[in-house]
């Protein structure tokens, strides 16, 4: 039964980013959940007709489920703001900060949350200074094991865990294929968790941490999107202090970056119980194998109701602006 | 949630071993962008069905529904209707094949015939010989039946007979059981090459003397550009060859109607296997195609397709010459595909994300090898995009190649390790890219 005041929701999914496939999966799941909750919702793959369509149809709210590029870098959100259309998720300016991993790390670090030591390097830096000397300086300051990842992007695309310095050049090349800036960070050994943060009107709330244990190696693309390839523990098998530390780190990251409605913070909790911030997603995956739906389910929420509540919150926030 | 955790698939440990590799992959996910209008897709092997006038088919469909609906909408024979099998004999006669319609088995596209033949012959560990490279859809079938695929080298004249002899000897010396040679002699997918007549004769002689069955897959044979392809291998040998044909490229793949022409003992088993798999091939499609072949100028329509694809082939070869003059590629005389060779240091699979950024899609060569090969190759399809789009796509591909070379040059003096070419699973692109 629909108890919502919303009439129409436009879910945006697809796009032309590397994460198009994941986005389509997320979008369809959001759409199904909204339908199950009695809302009228449509799915649109953004194209040249989108802005005209939104200006004309004036949906009550837009739900961007566009992972990667324009969906997360703030561009589309800025346009929705220009069109004066309410939308679910963080503002354009906040999304821009979170989308850039080095920027997000620095801001969250300044807010008192630990984050692995790192360095961000452009392809141009290697070109100008010579790869051999840059890599030598890098490994001097940041010994292996390291994690190499594109500075912007998601779904673990282009990410390599480097345990042997000899593999570092190849890891850099693979990351630069996705993005011209690459983040190299110290690998923290510990429990890998993801903490969803939702705010439907009562302030940011950390969902139960989801512990991630890939069956084979790292939590890469295949481990993320093939059911069965990863074992999840919700709540994570952490003691009470570590659980609280992870939740606190997630909420601090969410608030520090000025995020709203929904985010997912990826953390490593080390043996001492310290939560290390890795990155934040302003548009967390909402597919059948994604972590936020898992956490919502574990916390006893019904997905459709939460999604409808987030959509209503977006409308209220827009009205208050 | 329990202390045991969840892996989201309670049946994870129940799957058959042959399902290994049936999983979402990063490369497969990247193909999702190929459907976007901004992206020039040189990846898909989709026929340009828009060149098929709808009125050519609408009359056939109307006549089937008005005069034969009760049969066309019913289950049919596991072998296919007698009428379409007679027509198939006429189609195959264009490539020199003589035989009996009784030896034709209609299937759900020739892909299913491929599956049925493999099911009949291959036990886990049996060896299938295939060209190097080979059709990704065939490699997927062979993998599903746990075949050991051994590639055999090609050159500009197609499969190399001496390489075939050597491979047979090598496999047998280690006790391998060779079940058949899978070959695409005309306008090969993905290599674009055509096996010469002399080699057809020689390869059949080798297989006959070695007791090896030949599986001849010929979906593109009638789509020649400058001169007809040599007659089919099946035209030389009716006992040692199973021939696979299809209406997917000469009419439309949406009908999913293909066939196998097999020696009669094999044919009997194929019919039973077909019934076991699907009960019967698509009746409605068979009736419509029969009407079409009866009433329409289907030979003229094939000529229309040939003219269209010839122009697109020319556009691609010209664009490659203009934008990527330092690379090498095959020059197909028919079919859908050009096989591009990259500089040694490039990796077509690793380069795909950059291509997506530049709004061009291609199929990495790795899709066409069962042994980890193909990293230095790309399959480019010219069948679907317009000549203008092909030029745009190749220009973008040049940007991708140059960008990747620039990146690799940056790291070349820093101990960049070559990527391992260890045996890997077949990374199957989505079906609209095969």
| CA pair distance A74, A53, nearest whole angstrom | 20
In three-state form (DSSP H/G/I as H, E/B as E, the rest C), the secondary structure along A135-203 is HHHHHHHCCCCEEEEECCCCCCCCCEEECCHHHHHHHHHHHHCCCCEEEEEECCCCEEEEEEEECCCCC
What percentage of chain B exceeds 90 in pLDDT?
Answer: 84
Q: What is the mean pLDDT of residues A146-156?
A: 90
Q: What is the mean pLDDT of residues B395-405?
A: 97
For A244-296, the pLDDT digits (tens) are 999 999 999 999 999 999 999 999 999 999 999 999 999 999 998 899 999 99
| CA pair distance A95, A91, nearest whole angstrom | 6
**Structure confidence at residue A1 (pLDDT):** 43
| B100 to B188, B215, B274: CA distances (angstroms) | 27, 18, 19
Which residues in chain A are contacts of B415 at CB distance < 8 A? 132, 135, 166, 169
pLDDT score of A312 more than 60: yes
Q: Strand A61-64 relative to strand A8-12: parallel, antiparallel, unpaired?
A: parallel
Best probe of the B interface among A160, A170, A207, A214, by most B CBs < 10 A, is: A170
Q: What is the mean pLDDT of residues B87-112?
A: 97
Best probe of the A interface among B19, B411, B416, by most A CBs < 10 A, is: B411
For A108-117, the pLDDT digits (tens) are 999 999 999 9
Predicted TM-score (pTM) of the model is 0.90
For A24-37, the pLDDT digits (tens) are 999 999 999 999 98
Order the strands of the B377-381 sheet from edge to edge.
B328-329, B337-341, B377-381, B363-364
Angle at B63 between CA B61 and CA B64, to 5 degrees: 65
- DSSP annotation of A14 reads -
Mark yes or no for CB contact A132/B12 under 8 Å: no
Q: pLDDT band at residue B420, thresholds of 50, 70 and 90? A: low
Closest to B187 (Cα-Cα) out of B59, B395, B339: B339
Under DSSP, is residue A295 helix (H, G, I), strand (E, B) or coil?
Answer: helix
Task: List the beta strands (DSSP E) in chain A.
Answer: 8-12, 40-44, 61-64, 118-122, 146-150, 160-162, 181-186, 191-198, 205-206, 210-214, 230-233, 262-269, 275-281
B291: left (phi over 0), alpha (psi -120 to 50) or beta: alpha
For B53-70, the pLDDT digits (tens) are 998 899 999 999 999 999
Q: Which of A266, A290, A304, A312 is catalytic?
A: A266
**Structure confidence at residue B430 (pLDDT):** 58
What percentage of chain B exceeds 70 in pLDDT?
Answer: 95
- DSSP annotation of B146 reads T
Residue B318's Cβ-count burial label (10 Å; 0-12, 13-18, 19+) is middle
**Structure confidence at residue A101 (pLDDT):** 96
Which residues in chain B are contacts of A135 at CB distance < 8 A? 414-415
For B287-341, the pLDDT digits (tens) are 999 999 999 999 999 999 999 999 999 999 999 999 999 999 999 999 999 999 9
Q: Tell me which residue in B7, B33, B350 faces A16 most closely, judged by beta carbons.
A: B33
The ipTM (two decimal places) reads: 0.85
| CA pair distance B23, A109, nearest whole angstrom | 38
């Amino acid at each position: 039964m629909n108890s919502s005041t919303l009439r129409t929701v436009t879910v945006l999914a697809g796009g032309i980013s590397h994460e198009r496939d994941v986005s389509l999966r997320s979008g369809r799941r959001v759409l199904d959940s909204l339908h199950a909750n009695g809302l009228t919702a449509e799915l649109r793959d953004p194209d040249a007709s989108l802005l005209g369509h939104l200006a004309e149809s004036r949906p009550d709210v837009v739900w961007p489920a566009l992972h990667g590029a324009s969906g997360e870098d703030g561009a589309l959100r800025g346009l929705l703001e220009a069109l004066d259309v309410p939308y679910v998720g963080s503002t354009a300016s906040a999304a821009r900060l979170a989308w850039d991993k080095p920027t997000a790390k620095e801001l969250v670090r300044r807010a008192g949350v630990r984050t692995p030591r790192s360095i961000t390097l452009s392809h141009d830096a290697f070109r100008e200074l010579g790869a051999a000397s840059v890599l030598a300086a890098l490994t001097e300051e940041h010994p292996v094991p390291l994690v190499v990842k594109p500075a912007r992007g998601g779904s673990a695309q282009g990410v390599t865990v480097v345990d042997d310095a000899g593999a570092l050049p190849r890891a850099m090349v693979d990351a630069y294929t996705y993005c011209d800036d690459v983040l190299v960070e110290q690998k923290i050994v510990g429990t890998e968790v993801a903490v969803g943060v939702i705010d439907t009107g009562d302030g940011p709330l950390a969902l139960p941490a989801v512990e991630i244990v890939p069956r084979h190696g790292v939590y890469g693309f295949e481990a993320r999107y093939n059911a069965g390839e990863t074992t999840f523990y919700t709540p994570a098998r952490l003691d009470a202090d570590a659980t609280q530390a992870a939740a606190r780190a997630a909420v601090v990251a969410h608030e520090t970056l000025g995020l709203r409605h929904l985010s997912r913070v990826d953390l490593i909790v080390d043996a001492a119980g310290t939560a290390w911030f890795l990155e934040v997603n302003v548009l967390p995956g909402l597919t059948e194998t994604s972590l936020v739906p898992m956490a919502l389910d574990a916390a006893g929420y019904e997905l459709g109701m939460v999604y409808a509540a987030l959509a209503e919150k977006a409308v209220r926030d827009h009205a208050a602006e | 949630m329990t202390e045991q955790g969840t892996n989201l698939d309670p049946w994870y440990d129940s799957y058959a071993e042959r399902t290994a590799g049936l999983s979402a992959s990063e490369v497969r996910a990247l193909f999702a962008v190929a459907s976007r209008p901004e992206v020039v897709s040189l990846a898909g092997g989709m026929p340009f069905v828009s060149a098929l006038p709808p009125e050519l088919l609408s009359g056939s469909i109307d006549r089937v529904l008005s005069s034969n609906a009760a049969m066309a909408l019913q289950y049919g024979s596991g072998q296919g209707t007698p009428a379409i099998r007679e027509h198939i004999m006429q189609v195959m006669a264009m490539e020199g094949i003589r035989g009996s319609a009784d030896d034709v088995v209609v299937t759900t596209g020739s892909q299913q015939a491929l599956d049925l033949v493999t099911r009949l012959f291959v036990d886990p560990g049996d060896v299938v010989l295939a060209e190097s490279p080979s059709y990704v859809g065939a490699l997927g079938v062979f993998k599903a039946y746990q075949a050991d695929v051994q590639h055999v080298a090609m050159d500009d004249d197609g499969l190399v007979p001496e390489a075939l002899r050597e491979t047979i000897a090598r496999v047998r010396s280690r006790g391998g059981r060779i079940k058949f040679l899978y070959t695409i002699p005309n306008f090969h997918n993905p290599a674009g090459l055509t096996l010469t007549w002399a080699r057809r004769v020689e390869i059949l002689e080798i297989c006959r003397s070695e007791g090896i069955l030949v599986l001849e897959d010929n979906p593109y044979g009638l789509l020649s550009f400058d001169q007809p392809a040599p007659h089919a291998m099946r035209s030389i040998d009716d006992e040692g060859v199973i021939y696979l044909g299809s209406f997917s490229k000469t009419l439309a793949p949406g009908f999913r109607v293909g066939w196998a022409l097999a020696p009669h003992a094999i044919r009997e088993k194929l019919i039973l296997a077909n019934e076991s798999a699907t009960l019967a091939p698509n009746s409605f499609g068979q009736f419509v195609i029969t009407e079409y072949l009866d009433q329409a100028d289907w030979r003229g329509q094939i000529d229309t397709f040939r003219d269209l694809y010839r122009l697109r082939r020319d556009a691609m070869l010209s664009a490659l010459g203009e934008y990527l003059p330092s690379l090498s590629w095959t020059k197909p005389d028919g079919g859908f595909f050009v096989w591009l060779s990259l500089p040694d240091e490039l990796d077509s699979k690793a380069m795909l994300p950059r291509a997506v950024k530049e709004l061009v899609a291609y199929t990495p060569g790795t899709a066409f090898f069962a042994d980890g090969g193909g990293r230095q190759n790309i399959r480019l399809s010219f069948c679907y995009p317009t000549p203008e789009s092909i030029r745009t796509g190749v220009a973008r591909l040049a940007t991708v190649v140059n960008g990747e070379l620039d990146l690799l040059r940056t790291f070349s003096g820093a101990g960049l390790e070559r990527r391992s070419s260890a045996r890997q699973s077949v990374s199957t692109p989505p079906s609209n890219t095969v």
